[in-house]
Every structure is written in structure tokens, then in C-alpha cells.
Amino acid sequence: MIKAILVMVGTPMAARWMGLDNPRSAMVFGGLAGTVSGVTAGLAATDRRLVPYGALTATFHTGLGCLLGPSLLFFIVRGIVG
């Protein structure tokens, strides 16, 4: 929640410094920030045309973590316990 709010508020302020003015930079930003709601709101406040690109990679980032995290934890615990 705090991360989403920080990204949401900080994106419009730092957009010019980060070069958030094209779809490629929005996709990189979405993947690095990794919070779908924060990236979506921040990019909407910056430039509404960039929202789908940032949300796409942020969603992929979140989904990958949700799918990969439990699987890795399972194999680590299984390796330790036997």
C-alpha cells in the first residue's frame, strides 16, 4: 500500500527526469516499479496514453512473483525437510 502510494505520487513529479514520454520507457518503469495500481495512477497523471504499457509490465511482474514465489518456497522447504 505504501509503495503504491509513493509510486502514484512520485511518478508525475519525476516523469520528466526519468524520461517517461514514450511506450518503451513506460514499460520499463512498470516492470521496475512492480505495483499495478501505483504505476497505472502515476502514468495516468503523467500521460494517459502510456497507461496500458506500464500496466502491462507491472501486471506481468506481479503475476510472475505470485506464481514463482510459492513454487520456489515449496522446493526450498522440500529440499531442507527432505
Segments making up each domain of the chain, as ranges: 2-81
Structure pTM?
0.73
What count of Cα atoms within 13 Å lies in the side-chain half-sphere of residue 25?
14
Mean pLDDT of 54-65: 86
Cα separation, 71 vs 2, whole angstroms: 26
**pLDDT of 62:** 81
| H/E segment holding residue 66 | helix 51-81
Cα separation, 64 vs 24, whole angstroms: 20
Instruction: Quick: pLDDT tens for 11-21.
Output: 999 999 999 99
Binned at pLDDT 50, 70 and 90, residue 76 comes out as very high
State what percent of residues in the chain have pLDDT above 90: 50
Binned at pLDDT 50, 70 and 90, residue 80 comes out as very high
Which of these, 66, 48, 56, lies nearest to 11 by C-alpha position? 48
Residues 8/40, Cβ–Cβ less than 8 Å: no
